[in-house]
Structure 1
Amino acid sequence: MESTETIDGADVVIPLSSVKQVTDRYANILYGYFLGKRLAFPVVDFFAKSNWVKYGLSRLMMNANGFFFFKFKTNEGMDNMLEDGPWMIRNVPIILKEWSASVKLEKEDIKAIPVWVKMHDVPLAAYTEDGISLVASKIGVPKMLESYTATMCAESWGRSSYPRALIEVQAGADLKRSVTVAIPSLDGNGYSKVEVKIEYDWEPLRCSSCCVFGHEDNSCPKSHQVVLNGEAGKMGDDFQSLRSSNQVSTSNPFVVLKDDNGDQGGITVGRVEKKVTQSNGKQDSDEEEVVEVYNETNEFMTSGTRPSSSRAGASTSSTKFSNG
């Protein structure tokens, strides 16, 4: 089949009719991803089927690059699901966006992300929604209270070990580790001070140079580019030195691919089915899951959802702040 249209810089142009056909099939689709290491497909599968069926979730799949796709029966149900977010799976936020034919699947730089936070040693006098909100505001932007915490704030009775809140933190600042709270005395003569310790259920990777979440300083693409450029310059100098001293080997470079019997080893042509084995003898779970993905993708639009996994995802009932 030949392309009937040509575009500068492109080898193939997909017909508009094909794009429309796929777009119709992928109506009411969200795609999602995790910052850093993704969660396993069975965990996401179980969570989605347990929590999003009421919104009309009908199918889900994952591609080889770790992006998850969620198909809903109606656009209204999909919008309601997004509105009830943000969503956390095992305390890790999943970034959800609406799919379209023109979207480029890539993990964007995230400057703000919600995380569940525990506040230890909060004085009882601060156990009100306003008091907890004031403390949370020094950590980031308060979004909602855990249901147990909301009950404690309303009744001033219950588990008082720590309140728990969903707070949006910014990548431009270090994560807060403590907040000092001043409690005024009833007679108006001074204040008592208490240090509230902050614990994060999950901490996103943060780059202080880029001021984004998703990678750390030691894996920053900018710093790697500088290193690579320096290494490339050094290799160029070394290569010139070798050429000037006539030490460059001109033998067949493909000889190193042959094994002791003269056969070419170490190269597998076609789909790789072999699973990666780590130094400790355990199989790499991510590689195994990616192999499983190909069957899921082929059946995504023609079959029902996969059977629910026995591995559970975590969900937490909660109450949104009035200013959230």
Structure 2
Amino acid sequence: MVAARSATVAYTKEVPTPPCTTSMPTHPASTVETQQQADSSQTHTGLFIGNVPLYTSASLNTDNKFAAAFDNSSRKTLSFVPPTTQNGKIIVRPSFELVHEGSRQWVATVVGYFLGKKSYFHHLNEYVCSVWPLVKEVIATTNGFFFFKFKRVAAMEEVIEGGPWLFQGKPIVLQRWKPELALRKHKHTQVPIWIKLRHLSVEFWTTKGLSIVASGIRRPLYPDAITKACTRLNFARVCYVGYILQTA
């Protein structure tokens, strides 16, 4: 047993450990911390990766010139507004004046979403501009909502009151934009719908006549503008309420 120990010691002395093996740490994280603290030019940043503190040095600061170029850029239009802290949580408190100012560009905006599969933006944009000529801009979101910005508030109100609206046969739910509007799609079981009454004699194209004939289906609401003006006699188009959607 003694001879075995002597042989082991001799072997270790005869074959020196390579420098890279000697510097290989058993725990890399602790070695990084030791090496950083050993450099007197390094300053602790107050940040940690796990339990390892991060340090900065003069050599690293020279590399921040790229970031400093962005900080001093003429494109920098935002400023830092210190938030408040309450119960350990960071809270931002926008003022009423800020909300009022930011709402100005949205006061004539209608927000809508389709029931079922949404329409393609390009087709919807073309159709909306032809039906609602006072629409200034249409903006789509990735979760199926559309923002219709009108040139005037009166035009927006006319569209809301003139509903329900269908695009390519699909009903769209519209609501006036307001601050803190939650973009949520509600589950609808009943929606207004337009029904065509074909082969209707022209003597019934009056308010009373349409009411009597349309009531044979269910409670009617009103005809569309073309039916009311009697400028298209192929069919009368009447809006109904209470159409039950088929749900899975």
Give TM-score, length-normalised by structure 1: 0.43
Q: Would you identify which runs of 4 or more consecutive aligned residues in structure 1 move more than 6 Å?
A: none
**Does 2:244 match 1:164?**
no
Q: Which has the higher strand share?
A: 2
Output one character per residue of 1:67-86: Cα deviation in whole Å (capped at 9) or x when no partner.
Answer: 00011222222223323333
Alpha-carbon distance, 1:99 to partner: 0.9
Closer, same or farther: CA 136–11 of 1 in aligned 2, 3 Å: farther
Alpha-carbon distance, 1:26 to partner: 2.2
Alpha-carbon distance, 1:13 to partner: 3.7
Match of 1:29 in 2: 109
Q: Distance in 2 between matches of 1:151 and 1:20?
A: 45
| Structure 1 contact 126–132 (Cα < 8 Å) conserved | no
The one of 109, 119, 137 aligned to 1:39: 119
Unpaired runs of 5+ in structure 2? 1-79
SS at match of 1:94: strand
Unpaired runs of 5+ in structure 1? 175-204, 207-215, 219-324
Q: Distance in 2 between matches of 1:27 and 1:78?
A: 9
Match of 1:140 in 2: 219
Closer, same or farther: CA 14–29 of 1 in aligned 2, 3 Å: farther
Give the residue type in structure 2 aligned to 1:44: L
Output one character per residue of 1:153-211: Cα deviation in whole Å (capped at 9) or x when no partner.
Answer: 9xxxx64xxx332322315xx6xxxxxxxxxxxxxxxxxxxxxxxxxxxxxx33xxxxx
Q: Distance in 2 between matches of 1:85 and 1:169?
A: 12
> Quick one: higher RCO (CA 8 Å, sep 6+), 1 or 2?
1
**Does 2:84 match 1:4?**
yes
Give the residue type in structure 2 aligned to 1:140: R
Closer, same or farther: CA 148–14 of 1 in aligned 2, 3 Å: same
The one of 176, 179, 190 aligned to 1:101: 179
Q: Distance in 2 between matches of 1:28 and 1:125?
A: 39
Output one character per residue of 1:23-65: Cα deviation in whole Å (capped at 9) or x when no partner.
Answer: 2332321111111111111121001211222x3x211110011
| Structure 1 contact 142–165 (Cα < 8 Å) conserved | no
Match of 2:138 in 1: 60
| Structure 2 contact 113–185 (Cα < 8 Å) conserved | yes
Match of 1:89 in 2: 167
Greater gyration radius = 2
Q: Distance in 1 between matches of 2:85 and 2:132?
A: 42
Alpha-carbon distance, 1:103 to partner: 1.4
Q: 1:289-304, aligned counterparts within 5 Å?
A: none
Q: Which has the higher helix share?
A: 2
Output one character per residue of 1:87-133: Cα deviation in whole Å (capped at 9) or x when no partner.
Answer: 322232322111112211112344543322123565x4974433432
Match of 1:198 in 2: none
Closer, same or farther: CA 100–149 of 1 in aligned 2, 3 Å: closer
SS at match of 1:15: coil
**Does 2:144 match 1:72?**
no
Give the residue type in structure 2 aligned to 1:142: L
| Structure 1 contact 60–71 (Cα < 8 Å) conserved | yes
Q: Distance in 2 between matches of 1:118 and 1:51?
A: 19
User: Quick one: percent identity of the two aligned structures?
Assistant: 27
Output one character per residue of 1:205-229: Cα deviation in whole Å (capped at 9) or x when no partner.
Answer: 33xxxxxxxxx0x2xxxxxxxxxxx
Q: Distance in 1 between matches of 2:218 and 2:183?
A: 31
Match of 1:249 in 2: none
SS at match of 1:82: helix
Give the residue type in structure 2 aligned to 1:165: R
